[in-house]
């Protein structure tokens, strides 16, 4: 049983969910180190409330391993191009593995040079972009992370999904926890799928059907295209990320990539769901503020900026929201009380556990 009597999701201790995810990935052949990185990436998403990129992805990831789309023993090769730049070839592994190694190198290089850039190619699903940017922020640096994705988003005036939703994340150091993580679509395909799976309509403005008509039907939206946030602006940013994450790094372009994981079975308008590669490209930037000023001075100015914004008058019943602060509060709450998982998600994880001979994930007391 995975839900409480009043229908709310049950809570699962972070350590237990981490144990389960790590054991699952080890069971399919990953090293324990790589399995731990992949588990941390997914659990970090759940802690931050990005449930579309959390442990709900495990069954899809396992399917990719068993189909042979992903090699659990893939090797990541990092080639230094200069003292401040490097290129990673992920060998087809997940972004959590290649991205973690890329950011570790970037953080070390930025400590020496003030700024570092790492590209990545031949890497599968990225996970939540904010995870990578926050790795730099935890070291007192500014982190920027982005990725291209399979086609899913219609451009301005178009019907077919010819753009990726191409997330971009920026995180800054300091107690204000500034962390912005945005996709270039109004919402992710994962959120559309989870809403549709729950039997609920999606809000108008999220997507269009395969004929270009606005739709509130999640299944029709998955067969059609997502809409870019901000119209022309979001579509332009999606193209910019494509240039930086794919054209610059030599990675697979959006039109060469096929959907995988949570939405792999859906037909993306204009995409290549029946062929292509599950791999894409990423770009990471790490900036050490000390290149210009003492870190404490930069953090103090960030704090002043945030305080000024938060001091705004508010609409009735509303409060000012700063990117990253609500998520930081959620992390603290979930680290204490556990990660909420629905009965449906737990059932799918139980199936994985039974198939691989791994102990099922257990709820808290």
- Answer yes or no: do 132 and 237 share one domain: yes
- Answer yes or no: do 210 and 193 share one domain: yes
Range of the domain at 246: 77-291
Beta bridge partners of 77: 89
Distance between start and end Cα atoms, the chain: 13
- Answer yes or no: do 64 and 93 share one domain: no
- Answer yes or no: do 202 and 220 share one domain: yes
Q: What is the pLDDT along the chain (365 residues), one digit of tens a residue?
A: 334 434 468 999 999 999 999 999 999 999 999 999 999 999 999 999 998 899 999 999 999 999 888 999 999 999 999 999 999 999 999 999 999 999 999 999 999 999 999 999 999 999 999 999 999 999 999 999 999 999 999 999 999 999 999 999 999 999 999 999 999 999 888 889 888 888 899 999 999 999 999 999 999 999 999 999 999 999 999 999 999 999 999 999 999 987 765 565 443 333 334 456 889 999 999 999 999 999 999 999 999 999 999 999 999 999 999 999 999 999 999 999 999 999 999 999 999 999 999 999 999 87
* Closest residue by Cα to residue 307 from 116, 182, 175: 175
SS3 letters across 239-299 = HHHHHHHHHCCCCCCHHHECCCHHHCCCCCCCCCCCCCECCEEEEEEEECHHHCCCHHHHH
- Answer yes or no: do 107 and 256 share one domain: yes
- Answer yes or no: do 57 and 81 share one domain: no
- Answer yes or no: do 21 and 99 share one domain: no
- Answer yes or no: do 277 and 220 share one domain: yes
Residue 298 in any domain: the answer is no
Task: Report how far residue 308's alpha carbon sits from residue 302's, in angstroms, rounded to the nearest whole number.
Answer: 10
Residue 248 in any domain: the answer is yes
- Answer yes or no: do 81 and 102 share one domain: yes
Q: What CATH number is given to the structural domain containing 61? A: 1.10.1530.10
- Answer yes or no: do 109 and 236 share one domain: yes
Count of the separate structural domains present in the chain: 2
Residue 5 in any domain: the answer is no
- Answer yes or no: do 17 and 93 share one domain: no
- Answer yes or no: do 35 and 154 share one domain: no
Residue 103 in any domain: the answer is yes
Taking each helix axis from N to C end, the angle separating 325-337 and 32-47, rounded to the nearest 10 degrees, works out to 110
Residue 307 in any domain: the answer is no
């Amino acid at each position: 049983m995975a839900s409480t009597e009043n229908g709310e999701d049950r809570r699962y201790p972070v350590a237990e969910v981490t144990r389960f995810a790590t054991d699952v990935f080890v069971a399919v052949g990953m090293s324990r180190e790589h399995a731990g990185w992949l588990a941390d990436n997914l659990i970090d998403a759940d802690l931050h409330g990005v449930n579309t990129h959390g442990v709900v992805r495990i069954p899809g990831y396992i399917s990719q391993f068993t189909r042979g789309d992903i090699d659990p023993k893939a090797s990541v090769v990092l080639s230094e191009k200069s003292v401040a730049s490097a290129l990673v070839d992920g060998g087809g592994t997940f972004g959590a593995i290649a991205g973690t190694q890329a950011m570790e190198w970037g953080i070390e290089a930025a400590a020496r040079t003030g700024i570092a850039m790492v590209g990545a190619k031949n890497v599968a699903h990225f996970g939540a972009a904010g995870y990578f940017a926050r790795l730099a922020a935890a070291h007192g640096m500014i982190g920027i992370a982005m990725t291209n994705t399979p086609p899913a988003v219609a451009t301005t005036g178009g019907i077919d999904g010819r753009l990726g939703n191409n997330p971009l994340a920026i995180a800054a150091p300091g107690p204000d926890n500034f962390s912005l993580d945005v996709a270039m679509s109004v919402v992710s395909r994962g959120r559309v799928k989870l809403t549709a799976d729950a039997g609920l309509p999606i809000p108008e403005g999220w997507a269009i059907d395969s004929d270009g008509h606005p739709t509130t039907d999640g299944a029709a939206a998955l067969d059609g295209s997502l809409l870019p946030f901000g119209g022309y602006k979001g579509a332009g940013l999606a193209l910019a990320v494509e240039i930086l994450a794919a054209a610059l790094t030599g990675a697979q372009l959006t039109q060469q990539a096929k959907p995988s994981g949570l939405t792999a079975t859906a037909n993306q308008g204009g995409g290549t769901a029946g062929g292509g590669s599950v791999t894409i490209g990423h770009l990471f930037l790490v900036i050490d503020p000390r290149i210009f000023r003492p870190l404490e001075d930069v953090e103090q100015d960030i704090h002043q900026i945030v305080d000024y914004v938060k001091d705004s008058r508010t609409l009735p019943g509303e409060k000012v929201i700063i990117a990253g602060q609500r998520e930081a509060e959620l992390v603290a709450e979930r680290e204490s009380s556990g990660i909420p998982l629905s009965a449906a998600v737990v059932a799918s994880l139980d199936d994985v556990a039974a198939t691989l001979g791994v102990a099922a994930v257990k709820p808290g007391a």
